[in-house]
Structure 1
C-alpha cells in the first residue's frame, strides 16, 4: 500500500500536521507513521555548502594566490551534528512505498531552500512532490494547505532565488573575509596587541549593517549640541491661559535676521531677552487674534502589521530587539495564535477577508479585547472590509499581514508576560481596522502684538473611533496614544529637544475647549507673561 510522506521543518510543526491529519500511528526515531501516512521533520538546516578545502586541499591555507575562489559547480554536505536525522529523512524520501511527498517546511524562501537541499542530497527521483503553503498552523489552515497543495515545480523560481542568495552570501564571505584578513589582519592584531592574526569577517548583510552602525556612531561622536532660545507668551482669554510660541514673520523686527537660529528661536539668549523687553514695554500687553483656522481632521486606522512594523513598535513599546520580537511572534505562530510572521505585507487577501469574521469571533475568548471583538461583529463592519485599503491581493507576495487566528486561546495561559503583550498588540491593531476613524477638531491661532507673531495649535478629539481599541495599556510607547473625547492637546512645537510645548494649560478643562470655539478673528487677548525657554539640537 502506497503512503504519503509529510516533511516539516521542525518536530513541533510535524506534530501539528500529524494532529491535523489524525495520524495516531507509532512514533519512531525521527518520524511518525500510520497505515496511510508518514510525518517526518528536519531540525532546521540538514545540508550546507561545503568549504573551499572540500574542492581542493590547497584552499585550506589562506593565500592571495588562490583568490578569488569561484567554483563552477557548488558542493554541498550534510551537517555533521544532524547527520542522523538526515539519514532518517533521506531513507523515508526514497522508501518504495512512498509515492507522494508533501513539502511542509515554512512557507517562505528559507523553508523552500531547506527542503530542496535535503531532496538534492537524498537524490529523490520518481516521486510526486507537492508544496503545502499555509499562513498559520491551525488545523483548518493545515488541511486547506494539503488539500490545495501545488506541484513543487510551481515554486522553482522561489527555490532559484534561495540558491542564488546562498551562493552570493557564500562567495562574498569566503573571498572577502580571506582577502581582508590577509591584507589587514596582522595590522589589526598589532594595533590590538593580540599576538595573533585577526580574522576579519565579511558578509553580504553583516558588513553593510556594520557600516551603517559605524557611520552613525561617528556622527554621534562628532555631534556638537547647539543651544537656542525660544520666546513663549502666555495668553489669557476669559481668564483661561494657553501658551503661544513666537516665530519670525514678515514685519517682525527679526524677520530673516542673522540672530535667528530658526524661525522660532535665537542663537543667543540676549537676543531673546531683548525681544521680551521690547514686548513688555507695550502697554497694555494685548494681542490681536489675527487669524484662527478651524478644521476637522479624520485619522484612519493604520494598516496591519508586517514583521518590520511589528518589530519597530515592540522596540518602542517594550524596549526589545527586533530579534526578540521575531522569537516571540514565531512562538505565537507555532502556538496557532497568529499567522505566519515573516511577511512584508500589511494587508489581507481577498480570500481571507471573506472569512475574517472567524478571526474576530475567536477574539471574543480573549478577555482584554472580548468586548471590542463582540462590538465589531455586531456592527457588521467586517462585511465591507474587502472594499477597503486593508485588502489588496496585489500587495501580497508570499503571505498576508500578521493577524490573530482567533484560535489557540488555550495556549495563552502558557505565554510569558511579554509574549502575551505582543499578542495583544497584534490583536488590537487587527481589530482597529473594523472601527471608524478618529475625528478631531483642530484650531490654529495666530496672535500679533507690536508686529510680532505668536502661534498656538490645539486638537480636540470629537470621536475616538478606532483609538479606543488601538491603545495598548501598560506600554512605554502607545502607538496611537490619545486624549479622552472632548479633551484638547497642544499640537505645536518641533522635534528638537526643549522645543515641544507639551504642558499646555487647561488642556482637560471643558470650559477652555468651549472658549476655543467662541474665539473670533480680531479678538483682543491679554498677554499675561513672557518666558524664554532654552532648547538644544
Structure 2
C-alpha cells in the first residue's frame, strides 16, 4: 500500500493495484514452498528408515495450497503483454529475496527484474530507493545463500525427524536450529538440578564514619564467630589502603532486533515473538525502520540527518531540553550488513503516539530511548575501595560517587518506571591511610552459593546469539545460531511442539524443557544437538552471500553429514522407557493400547486405523511481502 501510494497506483483490483503505469501486487509469506518427500516418490508417504536418506537431485516446488489464488494473480500479471519489467520489492533480506525468486521461477517468468532495497517505509525513503533501483544480479549470491539455507533445513528436518521417529516409534520433530536451542535449556536445567548450594559466612563491620566493610568468606560458622568476637572486642579498624579510580561507562549501542527483544523481555515481559510482531506493525505504520536487522550501527551518509532525528524523537517523548548529540559514536558503515540499526523515523515525531496499542507504544519508547542514550555523553563516576584491618583480618568496602550522569539521566527520563528502583550507591568516608576508624556495629552474615539461572527469553536469546562464539572464525559478523529474524520463531516452535513451556509470573517467565523435550535431547546424537554445527552453517551461509563459497560445496557437506547420521545412528539402550508414549485407553476397534502423540490419539496397532485428531484454533499474524 505504501509503494502504491508513492507510485500513484491507486486503482484497486482483485489482488493488485494499478495506475500511473505500474501494477503493484503482493505475496503472503512463502507462496512457493519445497515439495514434500512423497512428491518425489509415493513410497515416502510411509516413514521408513530403509528409505533414508532422502536427498533430492532435482529440487521440486509447489504453490502453497492456502495461497494459490494470489499466486495465480501474480503469474497472470507477470505474463501480461504490457508488462516489460518487474521490481522485486520484498523484504530487504535473505528470506525476502527467496520469496520473490521462487514466485518468479514458478510462474515461468523470463522478463528482466531489478531490486528495491530499503530500510525505511517513509515516503521519501521509498521515492529515493525507486530512483536508485539495483540490478538483480547484485543479489544473486544472497539468493544462493537463501536457497542453501532452505534446502539444508529441509534435508536435516525431513531425514532426522523420520529417523528418530522410526527409531523410537513416535513423532519427533528435529531441526538444525530448534534442537540445539532445546539442548541448551536441557543442559541448563540439569546443571540447576545437580547444583548443591554451599553455605558461607562473613563478618560485616559498620564504620562510625559511614560505610560497611566485609571480611572474606568462611566455610565454617565457628571461624566467622571467632572473628566476630575479636572484632567486637577490638572496636576499631586500621585503614591499610584507600584507592580512588575515576571510571566511565560509554553509552549503549543502538538496537538490533535481538537486543530489542532481550530488553523488551527483561523490562516489559514480552516474548521475542510479541516484540517482533509489535516492531513489524510499527514498521508498517512508518514509525520505525526495518526491524529484522543484525546491525547496531548506521552508515556514514546518515550522519547529517541524525541530529534532527534525535531532536524530533526527544520532542515526541517530551524531552524538551537541549543536550549534546555525539553522532560519530553510532556511525560505522563497515559494521552495517543488510540493514542499519533500528531507529524511529521522522514520521514518528508527528504521529499520534497515544493512539497506538500499549505494546507497540512501549516498544517504540524503548527504540526512541536507545537512540537518545546512544548519542549521549559517557556516564562518569568515581569508585573508591577501602581496605582495613581488624583483629588481624582484612575487611574491604566499596563506594561510588557519580561525577556526571551522562546518558543514564536520559535513560531514567525515558524509561524510569520500567527500570524499577535503582540501588543507591554507597558513599565511603574520606579517610587517610594508616588512620584508625571506630566500629559502630559488627554482625555475622550467612549466605549460600547460587545455582545457574533458569533461561528467560532474554537469557536464551543471548545464549543463541553467542553460541559457539569461541569456535567461530575471526571476522564472522553473524555469530551464534539462527538469525535475528528467526530466533523468535524457533522459541515459539519449541513451545508449540511441547518441548518447552513458559512458567512464572506475568512479567518474569522462564522457559523450561518438558519431559518430552528432555527425552528428545537424551536420545539425540551430539552433532545434531550441538550449537557448533548450526553456527558453522551461519558462517558458511554468510560466505555464500559474499560470493566466497560455492553453494554446491555447502550442499555436498550437508548431504554427507546426513548420510553418515542415518548410517551410524542406533537406538540408545534404555531409551524405550524414556520415550514411552502416554497410554490413554483401549482401542474400541482392536483392543490394543491408544497412545497420545503430537497430533492426536492413535492406536498402537499399525494395522488398525483408529485415530482421534486434536484440532487447534491458531491466530496467524501474517507478514505481507510486496513485489511490483
TM-score tier by shorter-chain length is: 0.7 to 0.9
Match of 1:119 in 2: 104
Match of 1:156 in 2: 140
Where in structure 2 are the equivalents of 1:73-472 lying within 5 Å?
Answer: 73-125=58-110, 127-185=111-169, 198-237=170-209, 241-247=210-216, 265-282=217-234, 285-369=235-319, 371=320, 375-376=322-323, 379=324, 381-382=325-326, 385-386=327-328, 388=329, 390-408=330-348, 409-410=350-351, 412-471=353-412, 472=414
Given the superposition, is the C-alpha separation of residues 295 and 475 from structure 1 closer, same or farther in structure 2, using an over 3 Å criterion? same
Please state whether the residue corresponding to 1:277 is helix, strand or coil.
Answer: helix
Q: 1:414 and 1:95 mapped to 2: Cα distance?
A: 42
Q: 1:219 and 1:298 mapped to 2: Cα distance?
A: 36
Please state whether the residue corresponding to 2:367 is helix, strand or coil.
Answer: helix
Q: 2:182 and 2:388 mapped to 1: Cα distance?
A: 50
Unaligned stretches of 5+ residues in structure 2:
450-628
* 1:105 to partner: Cα distance: 0.7
Equivalent residue pairs, number:
447
Q: Which digits, 9 at most, give the CA deviation of each residue in 1:250-295, with x for residues without a partner?
A: xxxxxxxxxxxxxxx122322211211222232xx11111111112
Match of 2:444 in 1: 532
Contact 2:204 2:215 in 1 (8 A): yes
Contact 1:318 1:475 in 2 (8 A): no
Q: 2:123 and 2:190 mapped to 1: Cα distance?
A: 52
Please state whether the residue corresponding to 1:297 is helix, strand or coil.
Answer: strand
Please state whether the residue corresponding to 2:347 is helix, strand or coil.
Answer: coil
Please state whether the residue corresponding to 1:462 is helix, strand or coil.
Answer: strand
Structure 2 length-normalised TM = 0.69
Please state whether the residue corresponding to 1:292 is helix, strand or coil.
Answer: strand
Q: Which digits, 9 at most, give the CA deviation of each residue in 1:303-345, with x for residues without a partner?
A: 1111111111111111222121111111211111111111111
Q: 2:25 and 2:352 mapped to 1: Cα distance?
A: 24
| CA RMSD, Structure 1 to Structure 2 (Å) | 1.8
Contact 2:89 2:116 in 1 (8 A): yes
Q: 1:50 and 1:520 mapped to 2: Cα distance?
A: 78
Contact 1:230 1:533 in 2 (8 A): yes
Q: 1:298 and 1:361 mapped to 2: Cα distance?
A: 25
Q: Which digits, 9 at most, give the CA deviation of each residue in 1:217-251, with x for residues without a partner?
A: 222222222221121111112xxx3211112xxxx
Please state whether the residue corresponding to 2:343 is helix, strand or coil.
Answer: coil
Please state whether the residue corresponding to 2:171 is helix, strand or coil.
Answer: coil
Q: 2:283 and 2:15 mapped to 1: Cα distance?
A: 23
Q: 2:20 and 2:359 mapped to 1: Cα distance?
A: 42
Unaligned stretches of 5+ residues in structure 1:
1-14, 186-197, 248-264, 491-506, 508-512
Q: 1:334 and 1:411 mapped to 2: Cα distance?
A: 15
Q: 1:341 and 1:351 mapped to 2: Cα distance?
A: 20
Pair 1:62-2:47 in alignment: yes
Q: 2:220 and 2:71 mapped to 1: Cα distance?
A: 72
Query: For structure 1, which segment, 42-51 or 428-437, has the greater mean C-alpha deviation from structure 2 after superposition?
Result: 428-437
2:431 to 507, 513, 519: 519
Match of 2:4 in 1: 18
Q: 1:120 and 1:359 mapped to 2: Cα distance?
A: 41
Q: 1:443 and 1:229 mapped to 2: Cα distance?
A: 24
* 1:351 to partner: Cα distance: 1.2
Higher relative contact order (CA 8 A, sep 6+): 2
Contact 1:286 1:525 in 2 (8 A): yes
Please state whether the residue corresponding to 1:230 is helix, strand or coil.
Answer: strand
Please state whether the residue corresponding to 1:368 is helix, strand or coil.
Answer: coil
Contact 1:362 1:405 in 2 (8 A): no
Q: Which digits, 9 at most, give the CA deviation of each residue in 1:64-88, with x for residues without a partner?
A: 2211101111100000110000000
Q: Which digits, 9 at most, give the CA deviation of each residue in 1:173-209, with x for residues without a partner?
A: 1111111111112xxxxxxxxxxxx201111111111
Contact 2:314 2:372 in 1 (8 A): no
Q: 1:297 and 1:221 mapped to 2: Cα distance?
A: 39
Contact 2:7 2:20 in 1 (8 A): no
Match of 2:518 in 1: none
Larger Rg: 1
Q: 1:300 and 1:434 mapped to 2: Cα distance?
A: 10
* 1:107 to partner: Cα distance: 0.7
Given the superposition, is the C-alpha separation of residues 303 and 229 from structure 1 closer, same or farther in structure 2, using an over 3 Å criterion? same
Query: For structure 1, which segment, 175-184 or 410-419, has the greater mean C-alpha deviation from structure 2 after superposition?
Result: 410-419
Given the superposition, is the C-alpha separation of residues 436 and 524 from structure 1 closer, same or farther in structure 2, using an over 3 Å criterion? same
Please state whether the residue corresponding to 1:119 is helix, strand or coil.
Answer: helix
* 1:530 to partner: Cα distance: 1.3
